[in-house]
C-alpha cells in the first residue's frame, strides 16, 4: 500500500483549517453574532414570572421576538454576565440585583443613558425622584431603573401568637419588638429569627456613608449589633451558632415553617413558601405587622430593586426600550408570583393577592393584616445611590456582625472595626481612576 | 569497549524508520489539539496574571479600562493586614495539615502493607475520601460537626469538650484541617503502599540475619527508601493546601469573621467580590513565589538523605 506523504504546505493548510475550526465558533465578530431576537438576561427563572412577561410583550408587540436567558444571581453568575457584556455577547437588556454590581456596571460603560427617555415620559418621571430614588443615577445620567418594590414586614405565626395571647401590632417600636419576641419565646420556639436593621430604619438610604467617610460612628449601628447580641444571649433571638452551622441564612423559611422561631422580618419573595402546604407543610396562618420604628424614624429595611438596564452596544435600542417600558408600566404583573411588587404599582389589589398569596389566600394568610401592611401602607423605601466600596463594606459588616452575635466580640469593638475597614475601603476606591 | 557501545547506541538513535520523512510537521499536527488547550487555558492565563499584577483593573471596564500602575499593587500588598492575616492562616493550615497527613498516611500505608483479612477492601475504603465530590464531603462534615446536634460533639461531650467548629472563629480552621487530613490520608497511604512494595527485600533479609529490631529496620531501611515518596507527597500536599479553596468556599466562606480566609479565598474575594483583578493577580503572583520557595526548601531539606543517594 502506498503511503500518502504530506507536503509542508498541506500540513500548514491542515493546521490552519483546524485552528480556524476551533477558534471561529468562539469569536463571533464585532457584533457578537447578533440575532434578530431581543436578548434579555435576568436572574429570575423564566417560570417564576419573566416567561409570562415576555409572552405578553410579544403578544402586544408581535414585531419583536424576545429570548430570555437566566443567569444565576451569585458571584459566578454575575461574572458570567459581566464577561458576556464585555466580550460582545448578544445581550440587549439585562438585570442587576446587587448594589455593588450596579455602580460598577453603570460606571464602566455597560449601561445606556436612559435620561432622555425617562424625562420625556410622564409615566416614568418618578424615576427622577432623588429623595426616595427608584433609579441609579451616575453623574446625572439615569442608567438603571428599579422594576420591583420589596418592602420588609414582620410575619407572625398566628397559631402561636394566639396561644401566647399577644396582640398583633399595627405599629410598634424596636423595644416593643424585643418585648414581643420575649413573650413569644417558649421551650420549643425562639421569639425571633433576628432583629431588623436598626440603623437602616433610623437613617434611611446611603446610611453607610457620611461625606467622604463611613457613617459607622452613628450610635444606631452599635445599637443594632448590641440588640441582636442581647436577644441571642437571652434566648429570644435564634442562636447565631446554629445560623452559621446550618447555613440557615439561605433557608430561613424551613425553620419558620417548623416553628423553630416565631417573628420573621422578611420581604415578599419569601411568601411563596407559605401558600403551598403540600410542598412546604405547615398548619398555621401567617399575619403581617409593619417593621418596627427606631427613635420615631420609620425607613423601611426593604428597597426598590431588580434594576433593568440596556446594553449601550445594543443595535436594537428601540426594541429594548419598548421592552423596558412595557415591563415597568404594564407587564410586571406575572412577577408577583415571585414576590416582586411592580416598582410603579399599576396592579390591582386582587392581582397582588392572587399573584403573591396563591390560590387560597384566606387559608394561609390573615388577609386583614396583609391589606393593612402590604396593600394600604406606603412604607418609606429607598435605593442606595452612594456605593463606593460597597462590596468591601458589605463583607466587613457581615464578618463583624457574625463575631459579635457569636459572642466573641463586644458590639462596640465590632462596630469600630467595621468603621475602620469601611473608611479604608472608601478611601481606596475613591483613589481609583 | 565502552566507546564502541556508546557509538552503537548513538547510531541506533539517529536511524530513521523506513518511509517516514524527516519532518516535524506531522508531529506538530498530532499534538496541536493538546497544545492549543495548554496555550489557551494555561499559558495565556499565566501570562495574563503576570501582566495584570501591574495594573488596576475591574474587569467590567474591559481591556480598555486596564491602567498600568507599576509596583503599586505590591506596595499595597506589603501594607495590607488582610493579606498578611491570610498568609498566616495559610501557613498554619499547611504546616499543621501537611505533616500530619503524611505521618498518618505513612502509618496507614505500613499497616495496610501487612497481611490483613479484607486488605483490598480496607485500601479502597481509606482511598474513598480522596475521590468523593467536595460538595458531598462538605455537607457531611457540616452535619457531623454541628455544635449542637453533630455526631462529633456528641462523642466529645463525654470528655466535656464542646467545640463550636464552623460556628466559632477559634475552631473553624482546626475543623478545616481535620477535614483536609481526613481527605488526604488515604491518598498518602496508597502512594506509600506502592513505595513499600518496592523497598529492597534483600536489605530486610540482611537486617533480619543481623538481628536488627523493627525500629532499626524502619530507621535504616524503610524510611530512607520512602524519602523520595515523602518528598513527592510533601511537595504536592503543600501546593494543594496552599491553594485550598473548595471546602472553604462551600462551608465557611472565609468566616466566621475572617477566621478561615486563607490566601486563596482572600484572592477570590479581592478579585471576584471586590472586582480588584489587578490586585488579586498581584496576590496570586506573590503566592506563587511563596509556594515555590516553600517547595524548594522542602526539597532541599531532604536532598541527599534518600537510600539511593
We report the CATH number of the domain holding residue A373 as 3.40.190.10
Contacts of A385 (CB under 8 A, 6+ apart): A130, A133, A136, A137, A205, A206
The minimum CA-CA distance between A159 and chain B, rounded to whole Å, is: 28
Query: Whole-prediction pTM value?
Result: 0.85
Q: What pLDDT shows up at residue B72?
A: 94
Residue A29 has pLDDT above 90, yes or no: no
Residue A212: give the domain boundaries. Answer: 153-301+359-431
Q: How confident is the model at residue B20 (pLDDT cuts 50, 70, 90)?
A: low
Question: Is residue A4 less than 8 Å (CB to CB) from chain B?
Answer: no
Q: How confident is the model at residue A2 (pLDDT cuts 50, 70, 90)?
A: very low
Contacts of A113 (CB under 8 A, 6+ apart): A141, A142, A143, A312
For A110, the closest of B29, B60, B146 (CB atoms) is B60
Question: Is residue A18 less than 8 Å (CB to CB) from chain B?
Answer: yes
Question: Is residue A233 less than 8 Å (CB to CB) from chain B?
Answer: no
**Residues within 8 A of A (CB atoms), B 183-222 only:** none
A347-379 tens-digit pLDDT: 999 999 999 998 899 999 999 999 999 999 989
Cis peptide before B256 (omega within 30 of 0): yes
A-chain residues near B274 (CB < 8 A) = 391-392
For A403, the closest of B26, B59, B169 (CB atoms) is B169
Q: Do A244 and B273 touch (CB under 8 A)?
A: no
Q: How confident is the model at residue A25 (pLDDT cuts 50, 70, 90)?
A: very low
In this structure, which topology does domain B73-302 adopt according to CATH?
Answer: MetI-like fold (1.10.3720)
| A27 assigned to some structural domain | no
Please state at what angle helix A50-60 crosses helix A317-326, rounded to 10 degrees: 120
| A241 assigned to some structural domain | yes
A203 shares its domain with A340: no
Please state at what angle helix A411-431 crosses helix A390-405, rounded to 10 degrees: 170
Q: What pLDDT shows up at residue B305?
A: 61
Q: What pLDDT shows up at residue B23?
A: 63
Question: Is residue A247 less than 8 Å (CB to CB) from chain B?
Answer: yes
The minimum CA-CA distance between A354 and chain B, rounded to whole Å, is: 37
The minimum CA-CA distance between A63 and chain B, rounded to whole Å, is: 33
CA separation for the pair B227, B230 (Å, rounded): 5
Q: Do A408 and B148 touch (CB under 8 A)?
A: no
Please state at what angle helix B172-197 crosses helix B81-113, rounded to 10 degrees: 40
A389 shares its domain with A426: yes
A85 shares its domain with A209: no
Q: Is the four-CA dihedral A321, A322, A326, A327 of positive or negative sign?
A: negative
A80 shares its domain with A108: yes
Q: What is the ipTM of this complex?
A: 0.83
Q: What pLDDT shows up at residue B307?
A: 53
**Nearest C-alpha in A relative to B261:** A399
| A33 assigned to some structural domain | no
A187-197 tens-digit pLDDT: 999 999 999 99
A270-300 tens-digit pLDDT: 998 999 888 999 999 999 999 999 999 999 9
Residue A23 has pLDDT above 60, yes or no: no
Q: What pLDDT shows up at residue A218?
A: 97
| A3 assigned to some structural domain | no
A242 shares its domain with A173: yes
A264 shares its domain with A308: no
Q: For B292-306, what is the mean pLDDT?
A: 77
The minimum CA-CA distance between A421 and chain B, rounded to whole Å, is: 10
Q: Distances from the Cα of A12 to the Cαs of A3, B28, B301, in angstroms?
A: 19, 10, 49
| A218 assigned to some structural domain | yes
B251-277 tens-digit pLDDT: 999 989 999 999 999 999 999 889 899
| A23 assigned to some structural domain | no
**Nearest C-alpha in A relative to B250:** A247
A75 shares its domain with A180: no
A193-218 tens-digit pLDDT: 999 999 999 999 899 999 889 999 99
For A18, the closest of B32, B59, B258 (CB atoms) is B32
A225-243 tens-digit pLDDT: 999 999 999 999 999 999 9
B182-229 tens-digit pLDDT: 999 999 999 999 898 888 888 889 999 988 898 898 888 888 889 889
A318 shares its domain with A176: no
| A24 assigned to some structural domain | no
**Residues within 8 A of B (CB atoms), A 374-393 only:** 391-392
Residue A79 has pLDDT above 70, yes or no: yes
A292 shares its domain with A163: yes
DSSP assignment of A270-304 equals GGGGTS-TTTS-----EEEEEPPBBTTB-EEEEEE
Q: Do B167 and A242 touch (CB under 8 A)?
A: yes
**A343 backbone φψ class: left, alpha, beta (φ>0; ψ -120 to 50):** alpha
Question: Is residue A240 less than 8 Å (CB to CB) from chain B?
Answer: yes
| A11 assigned to some structural domain | no
Q: Do B25 and A19 touch (CB under 8 A)?
A: no
Domain ranges of chain B: 21-70, 73-302
Q: For A426-433, what is the mean pLDDT?
A: 78
Contacts of A378 (CB under 8 A, 6+ apart): none
- E strand or H helix at A257, and its extent? helix A252-257
The mean pLDDT of chain B is 87
Q: What pLDDT shows up at residue A42?
A: 95
Total domains present in chain A: 2
Amino acid at each position: 500500500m502506498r503511503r500518502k506523504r504530506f507536503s509542508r504546505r498541506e500540513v500548514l493548510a491542515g493546521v490552519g483549517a483546524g485552528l480556524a475550526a476551533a477558534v471561529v465558533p468562539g469569536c463571533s465578530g464585532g457584533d457578537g453574532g447578533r440575532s434578530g431576537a431581543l436578548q434579555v438576561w435576568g436572574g429570575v427563572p423564566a417560570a417564576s414570572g419573566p416567561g409570562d412577561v415576555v409572552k405578553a410583550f410579544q403578544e402586544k408587540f408581535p414585531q419583536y421576538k424576545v429570548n430570555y436567558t437566566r443567569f444565576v444571581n451569585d458571584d459566578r453568575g454575575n461574572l458570567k454576565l459581566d464577561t458576556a457584556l464585555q466580550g460582545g455577547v448578544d445581550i440587549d437588556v439585562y438585570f442587576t440585583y446587587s448594589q455593588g454590581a450596579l455602580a460598577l456596571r453603570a460606571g464602566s460603560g455597560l449601561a445606556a443613558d436612559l435620561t432622555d427617555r425617562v424625562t420625556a415620559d410622564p409615566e416614568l418621571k418618578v424615576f427622577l425622584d432623588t429623595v426616595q430614588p427608584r433609579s441609579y443615577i451616575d453623574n446625572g445620567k439615569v442608567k438603571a431603573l428599579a422594576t420591583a418594590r420589596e418592602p420588609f414586614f414582620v410575619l407572625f405565626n398566628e397559631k402561636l401568637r394566639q396561644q401566647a395571647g399577644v396582640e398583633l401590632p399595627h405599629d410598634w417600636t424596636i423595644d416593643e419588638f424585643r418585648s414581643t419576641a420575649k413573650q413569644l419565646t417558649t421551650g420549643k420556639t425562639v421569639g425571633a429569627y433576628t432583629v431588623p436593621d436598626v440603623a437602616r430604619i433610623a437613617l434611611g438610604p446611603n446610611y453607610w456613608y457620611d461625606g467622604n467617610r463611613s457613617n459607622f460612628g452613628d450610635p444606631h449601628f452599635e445599637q443594632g449589633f448590641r440588640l441582636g447580641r442581647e436577644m441571642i444571649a437571652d434566648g429570644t433571638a435564634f442562636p447565631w451558632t446554629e445560623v452559621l452551622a446550618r447555613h440557615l441564612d439561605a433557608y430561613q423559611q424551613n425553620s419558620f415553617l417548623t416553628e423553630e422561631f416565631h417573628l420573621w422580618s422578611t420581604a415578599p419573595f419569601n411568601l411563596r413558601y407559605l401558600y403551598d402546604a403540600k410542598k412546604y407543610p405547615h398548619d398555621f396562618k401567617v399575619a403581617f405587622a409593619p417593621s418596627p420604628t427606631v427613635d420615631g424614624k420609620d425607613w423601611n429595611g426593604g428597597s426598590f430593586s431588580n434594576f433593568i438596564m440596556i446594553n449601550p452596544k445594543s443595535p436594537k435600542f428601540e426594541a429594548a426600550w419598548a421592552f423596558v417600558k412595557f415591563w415597568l408600566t404594564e407587564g410586571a404583573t406575572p412577577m408577583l408570583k415571585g414576590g416582586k411588587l411592580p416598582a410603579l404599582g399599576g396592579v390591582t389589589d386582587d392581582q397582588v393577592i392572587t399573584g403573591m398569596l396563591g390560590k387560597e389566600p384566606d387559608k394561609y394568610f390573615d388577609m386583614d393584616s396583609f391589606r393593612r401592611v402590604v396593600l394600604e401602607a406606603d412604607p418609606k423605601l429607598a435605593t442606595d445611590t452612594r456605593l463606593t466600596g460597597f462590596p468591601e463594606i458589605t463583607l466587613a459588616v457581615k464578618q463583624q456582625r457574625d463575631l459579635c452575635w457569636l459572642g466573641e466580640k463586644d458590639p462596640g469593638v465590632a462596630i469600630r472595626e467595621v468603621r475602620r475597614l469601611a473608611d479604608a475601603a472608601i478611601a481606596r476606591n475613591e483613589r481609583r481612576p | 569497549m565502552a566507546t564502541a557501545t556508546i557509538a552503537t547506541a548513538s547510531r541506533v538513535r539517529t536511524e530513521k524508520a523506513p518511509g517516514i520523512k524527516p519532518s516535524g510537521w506531522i508531529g506538530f499536527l498530532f499534538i496541536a489539539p493538546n497544545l492549543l488547550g495548554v496555550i489557551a487555558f494555561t499559558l495565556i492565563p499565566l501570562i495574563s496574571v503576570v501582566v495584570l499584577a501591574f495594573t488596576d483593573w475591574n474587569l467590567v471596564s474591559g481591556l480598555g479600562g486596564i491602567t498600568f500602575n507599576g509596583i503599586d499593587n505590591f506596595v499595597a500588598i506589603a501594607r495590607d493586614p488582610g493579606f498578611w492575616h491570610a498568609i498566616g492562616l495559610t501557613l498554619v493550615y499547611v504546616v499543621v495539615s501537611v505533616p500530619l497527613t503524611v505521618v498518618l498516611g505513612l502509618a496507614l500505608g505500613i499497616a495496610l502493607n501487612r497481611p490483613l483479612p479484607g486488605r483490598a477492601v480496607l485500601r479502597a475504603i481509606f482511598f474513598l475520601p480522596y475521590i468523593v465530590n467536595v460538595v458531598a464531603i462538605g455537607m457531611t462534615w457540616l452535619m457531623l460537626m454541628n455544635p449542637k446536634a453533630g455526631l462529633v460533639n456528641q462523642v466529645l461531650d463525654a470528655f466535656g469538650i464542646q467545640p463550636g467548629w464552623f460556628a466559632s472563629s477559634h475552631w473553624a480552621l482546626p475543623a478545616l484541617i481535620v477535614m483536609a487530613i481526613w481527605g488526604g490520608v488515604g491518598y498518602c497511604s496508597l502512594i506509600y503502599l506502592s513505595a513499600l512494595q518496592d523497598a529492597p527485600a534483600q536489605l530486610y533479609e540482611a537486617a533480619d540475619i543481623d538481628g536488627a529490631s523493627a525500629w532499626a529496620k524502619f530507621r535504616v531501611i524503610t524510611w530512607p527508601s520512602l524519602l523520595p515518596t515523602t518528598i513527592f507527597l510533601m511537595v504536592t500536599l503543600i501546593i494543594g493546601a496552599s491553594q485550598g479553596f473548595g471546602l472553604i468556599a462551600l462551608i465557611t466562606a472565609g468566616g466566621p469573621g475572617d477566621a478561615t480566609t486563607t490566601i486563596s479565598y482572600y484572592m477570590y474575594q479581592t478579585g471576584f467580590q471586590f472586582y480588584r483583578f489587578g490586585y488579586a493577580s498581584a496576590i496570586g503572583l506573590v503566592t506563587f513565589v511563596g509556594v515555590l520557595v516553600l517547595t524548594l526548601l522542602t526539597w532541599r531539606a531532604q536532598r541527599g538523605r534518600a537510600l539511593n543517594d
